[in-house]
Structure 1
């Protein structure tokens, strides 16, 4: 009998040993932010509650039940801090107050409470490469060279001569040094001249920022998306740049990003703030131009941030097919290879700085808008990484395509237009190009229904509403079981119910196919096949995978032929047996 019980014990130990060597959903490195579906809200354009034509916090509160119904689990909110609004809130005059356009701190507190009541997390933008020139820090800084806030910014005394040339992102061919007569000095602004760059070399400035971060985290927010943080470390001697360089985004990124102390500052931020809030999500915008560089920000051993939000996935020019789908797939494969064992990525195709995803990655024609919108949503919700989804894309909203410069509000577009006007450039061609590429296309008001101004406001909207709101709107799509919106709901539900779509490994299928993006996701013996036709033509996938016993999980077409021949913009998800 004793030997019998010993054998039972040894058998149990052997079984547990085998189990310990097999990863299951229960012993994965599970985090809420890996499983989240993040929905980006551009507050100025989401919902207006008081008729002034500007979206606000009370407007968002009124639509929280809608957000809950879509299946999203977290909201990334674009800046709502006090701001003169030169760059739509990315020029902050007070980091601890709410912009009057959006409401009050009491409104924010209610928003946070109501979101958490619905199990929706809140992620805020952290904009600390620069402030507004109307920020108290800068107002004091410019008063005298001995002011205690002077070194919160970068100043260059005029008696030293003209500072070494630097480009400005928003002021085309304009020096990023702005002369200020009050102290006979120049200040640095990588972006608008109303956005002076903060001097992170000053430990007192860093302490102010860490204190501000704690202020919001103590309120109960769930994390930060870190805007333009890749530029915070600068060489204060500002050495001359090579003479052959010109003003373009590639050179700006090459010479502005990843200063010598960047990771040192982020690790300090982690020690002083983030380590004390271990459940907070931190998203690294612009995390380098390679998978290896991105990993440096999110490798757990480095104690920095936890999600890399890289721009290569949207830096494809005017559209995906001109860029090349094979090249695009290779980029994702390279990132996944780097991140397969540690670190974590964001997956996205659109945000407030990009045109609508259906225009850039699909087709907004009447024939294919809905199909390609659903296909792109399938991509975002089934790839390995945390999906970031931009408001309005769940309706298939598309570019407004303004004809006149007067219709634009964006500082970047207006500055480029004025530069072309002054230099005799082709203004007509510029405006035509902006119809496809301008970030203003994604900022038009959310289309709630077919009433005046799409139900966004009872007043005059701050930016024109897309005229197609009469047919593309939330109210109509909510009633239609086959709508883009209800397809999105199916996808969020599918992702929540299938850990393989969160934690499963990723493998490309038919990598050299120029029309189809196909891949498998696999976890603990469960394997899904996702096939996406990125073109408006019939095309075929080459694969040895057997579909005879495969189970069809979801498709954007009503009628499905279970084979590898795909219709235009078709997306299909199979469970392989």
Structure 2
């Protein structure tokens, strides 16, 4: 793929549709609401919008239990609303990426209704059915990602079905070619409507061990962890045959020009990069969550970047993520000042960055009262801090009631700081985190060195993380202080230039010669002179 490809140069912005903008006062965000806010996304400077699931669903897992892959759930609107959204997005130069959830359906999907109707139904093999173990219990020791056994007994047909998540989310049998064809047809349905790509949910789960062997115990498991960690997922996910499926999905997208395939993959780097496929025939962007999973430590992050850059196959394109709908927000993890440094890191590393809605206005940890909890994972395993509700709370647009998100009662409570921390106020503040995001994205768009340029590490110590970005004759140094004390970065002999942007937004054009001093919790981008 040439460096001009949109998903290489571009910035992706993830929207959790329930929480972005409500247009009808029911307290839940919708497609019409997203359309109303497209001009904001243009002003932010992003290139593509990824929308979490909007398909027809009973909402047992808020859309990740799909009952119709070619339908829009009435909560979000109609197919006409979707067509209007994609037309409006494209008119503004924005790409639209949909979430695709192929590992499992809802138990209300017509396919599953047929599958569970009898053992002889033609769709019986579309799902994973097994006889009980000799003792009458589940077929093996596989655990649901949301806690408890991953097998549910079906009294009517006398077998268990497998569900990697909720029992309301039975797993499809991706070894069945009819399942594959049906799912690829669903992809084509949306591609024909103009969708620019897909983020594929839990793509590494699609194929399971053909012999359904027990997973080995995890000797490092602690009772304070989620139950899924009791066993190593050796046989229930990341099977060699999954790469054939990913390659087939890629070929479907290649029937259309300039589409992108993004795979959700929570695996170590050496396994993650295999999802690029043989000769780059797999996902264009196997999602790299390492910045979420690594401690906020300069030396560890420097080592991670080096390891990732070395592991990517020739021609493969990197990508970086700081947060999403399943992970605590970056502001909640590292605090407000370091969240600004994190923004600079994300938007200056080599590769495609994905922003999560609300991070650009500094939403942090939102406390959810017990009686307001929505997340089924938290309800299944209470007390372990597993709730994903805090990172799914509504967007703050202005200082009015409910932050301009809805005229009704929001489905989740807003962060109480919304009266000060909202788009309208932050847009007027030249030192706000929103202004920082806008300037970072604009700088990235203006200079190829900061989007597709080479990554060159710069020697640094302690809490300092530094690197160069180079393209042609242009050279930038990015210096990030991940600590809470001032530091001075000594540059290679002869290095001089001027500051282009500081995370404090107050050092534009400041010259330097040989070294750069940073305040506590500061990051900066500097242009090097020849």
Mapped to 2, the partners of 1:121 and 1:342 lie a distance apart of 23
Aligned ranges 1:92-491 → 2 under 5 Å: 92-158=66-132, 161-162=136-137, 163-171=139-147, 174-242=148-216, 247-249=227-229, 251-271=231-251, 273-286=252-265, 288-290=267-269, 292-298=270-276, 301-316=279-294, 320-321=295-296, 324-339=297-312, 341-360=314-333, 362-363=334-335, 369=336, 371-402=337-368, 404-417=369-382, 427=383, 430=384, 434=385, 438-491=387-440
Matched, 1:502 2:451: yes
Cα offset for 1:277? 1.7
In 2, Cα distance between the equivalents of 1:241 and 1:353?
24
The structure with the larger Rg is 1
> Aligned partners of 2:330 and 2:133: how far apart in 1?
49
* Structure 1 contact 154–236 (Cα < 8 Å) conserved: no
SS in 1 for 2:322: coil
Unaligned 5+ segments in structure 2 are 222-226
Match of 1:60 among 12, 23, 34: 34
Per-residue CA deviation, residues 333-365 of structure 1 (Å, 9 max, x unaligned), is: 1111233741012211011111111122x31xx
Partner of 2:498: 551
Q: Tell me if structure 2 keeps the 8 A contact 1:300–1:343.
A: no
Contact map agreement 1:267 1:302 (CA 8 A) in 2 = no
Q: Name the counterpart of 2:51.
A: 77
Cα deviation for residue 545 of structure 1 reads 5.2
Structure 1 residue runs without a partner (length 5+): 1-26, 364-368, 418-426
* Contact map agreement 2:467 2:477 (CA 8 A) in 1: yes
Pair 1:310–1:70, CA change in 2 (3 A): same
Displacement of 1:449: 0.7
Aligned-pair distance for 1:510? 2.6
Structure ranking higher in helix proportion: 1
Q: What residue in structure 1 maps to residue 224 of structure 2?
A: none
Matches of 2:278 and 2:441 in 1, distance apart?
27
Cα distance change of structure 1 residues 240 and 448 upon mapping to structure 2, 3 Å threshold: same
Change (3 A) 1:373 1:232: same
- What is the CA-CA distance between 1:97 and the residue it aligns to? 0.5
SS at match of 1:550: strand
Q: Normalised by the size of structure 1, how large is the TM-score? A: 0.85
Secondary structure in 2 aligned to 1:183? Answer: coil
SS of the equivalent of 1:382 reads coil
Indicate if the aligned counterparts of 1:234 and 1:260 stay in contact, CA closer than 8 A. no
- Output the aligned Cα RMSD: 2.0
Look up the SS of the partner of 1:327 in the other structure.
helix
Checking the alignment, whether the CA contact within 8 Å between 1:287 and 1:297 is kept in structure 2 is no
Q: What is the rounded CA distance, in whole Å, between the counterparts of 1:444 and 1:252 in structure 2?
A: 32
1:299–1:342: 8 Å Cα contact kept in structure 2?
A: no
Q: For residues 187 and 388 of structure 1, do their structure 2 counterparts lie closer, same or farther at Cα, with a shift above 3 Å needed?
A: same
